[in-house]
Amino acid sequence: MDNKLSELSKPVAQIYYDEHDSSVMRIGWLRSDEPKNPEPLYSQEYVSALQQKIAELEQAMRHIHGALLDITVPRVAIAKAAELAVEHAAMKEQING
Protein backbone atom coordinates (compact mmCIF):
# COMPACT_ATOMS: atom_id res chain seq x y z
CA MET A 1 0.00 0.00 0.00
CA ASP A 2 1.22 3.45 -0.70
CA ASN A 3 1.45 6.00 2.11
CA LYS A 4 -1.95 7.61 1.37
CA LEU A 5 -3.73 4.26 1.35
CA SER A 6 -1.94 3.33 4.56
CA GLU A 7 -3.19 6.51 6.22
CA LEU A 8 -6.73 5.89 4.97
CA SER A 9 -6.67 2.35 6.36
CA LYS A 10 -7.18 3.64 9.89
CA PRO A 11 -10.79 3.18 11.08
CA VAL A 12 -12.79 6.38 11.47
CA ALA A 13 -15.52 4.98 13.75
CA GLN A 14 -16.68 1.74 15.30
CA ILE A 15 -19.79 -0.35 15.71
CA TYR A 16 -20.42 -2.01 19.04
CA TYR A 17 -23.27 -3.46 21.06
CA ASP A 18 -24.56 -1.65 24.11
CA GLU A 19 -23.03 -3.11 27.29
CA HIS A 20 -26.40 -3.19 29.06
CA ASP A 21 -28.67 -4.15 26.13
CA SER A 22 -27.05 -6.43 23.56
CA SER A 23 -29.96 -5.91 21.16
CA VAL A 24 -28.85 -2.28 20.71
CA MET A 25 -26.08 -1.59 18.22
CA ARG A 26 -24.23 1.70 18.50
CA ILE A 27 -21.92 3.58 16.18
CA GLY A 28 -19.33 5.83 17.76
CA TRP A 29 -16.16 7.71 16.99
CA LEU A 30 -12.96 6.04 18.08
CA ARG A 31 -11.99 6.92 21.62
CA SER A 32 -9.74 5.57 24.35
CA ASP A 33 -12.46 3.89 26.45
CA GLU A 34 -13.50 1.50 23.67
CA PRO A 35 -15.91 -1.32 24.46
CA LYS A 36 -14.81 -4.90 23.95
CA ASN A 37 -14.65 -6.21 20.37
CA PRO A 38 -15.75 -3.16 18.41
CA GLU A 39 -16.18 -3.51 14.64
CA PRO A 40 -14.22 -0.81 12.79
CA LEU A 41 -15.78 1.48 10.17
CA TYR A 42 -13.62 2.87 7.36
CA SER A 43 -13.91 5.97 5.20
CA GLN A 44 -15.60 5.73 1.80
CA GLU A 45 -12.38 7.00 0.23
CA TYR A 46 -10.49 4.01 1.67
CA VAL A 47 -13.14 1.52 0.56
CA SER A 48 -13.16 3.02 -2.95
CA ALA A 49 -9.35 2.84 -3.12
CA LEU A 50 -9.46 -0.83 -2.11
CA GLN A 51 -12.14 -1.58 -4.69
CA GLN A 52 -9.99 0.07 -7.37
CA LYS A 53 -6.95 -1.98 -6.28
CA ILE A 54 -9.03 -5.18 -6.36
CA ALA A 55 -10.23 -4.35 -9.88
CA GLU A 56 -6.63 -3.79 -11.02
CA LEU A 57 -5.49 -7.09 -9.50
CA GLU A 58 -8.43 -8.97 -11.03
CA GLN A 59 -7.56 -7.52 -14.44
CA ALA A 60 -3.94 -8.62 -14.01
CA MET A 61 -5.11 -12.11 -13.05
CA ARG A 62 -7.33 -12.28 -16.16
CA HIS A 63 -4.30 -11.41 -18.31
CA ILE A 64 -2.19 -14.09 -16.62
CA HIS A 65 -4.98 -16.66 -16.92
CA GLY A 66 -5.42 -15.81 -20.59
CA ALA A 67 -1.70 -16.21 -21.19
CA LEU A 68 -1.75 -19.61 -19.50
CA LEU A 69 -4.61 -20.73 -21.72
CA ASP A 70 -2.66 -19.66 -24.80
CA ILE A 71 0.25 -22.00 -24.09
CA THR A 72 0.75 -24.11 -27.22
CA VAL A 73 2.24 -27.10 -25.39
CA PRO A 74 -0.59 -29.21 -24.00
CA ARG A 75 -0.73 -29.43 -20.21
CA VAL A 76 -0.58 -33.23 -20.39
CA ALA A 77 2.81 -33.02 -22.10
CA ILE A 78 4.08 -30.62 -19.44
CA ALA A 79 2.88 -32.95 -16.68
CA LYS A 80 4.51 -35.95 -18.38
CA ALA A 81 7.79 -34.06 -18.78
CA ALA A 82 7.74 -33.15 -15.09
CA GLU A 83 7.03 -36.77 -14.15
CA LEU A 84 9.92 -38.00 -16.30
CA ALA A 85 12.24 -35.39 -14.78
CA VAL A 86 11.38 -36.61 -11.28
CA GLU A 87 11.93 -40.24 -12.31
CA HIS A 88 15.25 -39.31 -13.93
CA ALA A 89 16.39 -37.49 -10.79
CA ALA A 90 15.43 -40.50 -8.65
CA MET A 91 17.33 -42.90 -10.91
CA LYS A 92 20.35 -40.60 -10.93
CA GLU A 93 20.22 -40.48 -7.12
CA GLN A 94 20.18 -44.30 -6.97
CA ILE A 95 23.14 -44.59 -9.33
CA ASN A 96 25.23 -41.99 -7.50
CA GLY A 97 24.37 -43.44 -4.12
Q: pLDDT value at position 54? A: 92
3-class SS letters over the chain: CCHHHHHHCCCCEEEEECCCCCCCEEEEECCCCCCCCCEEECCHHHHHHHHHHHHHHHHHHHHHHHHHHCCCCCHHHHHHHHHHHHHHHHHHHHHHC
pLDDT in tens, the chain (97 residues): 567 778 788 888 887 777 777 777 777 765 656 556 677 888 899 889 899 999 999 998 888 877 776 665 577 777 888 888 888 888 777 777 5
What are the beta bridge partners of residue 33?
none
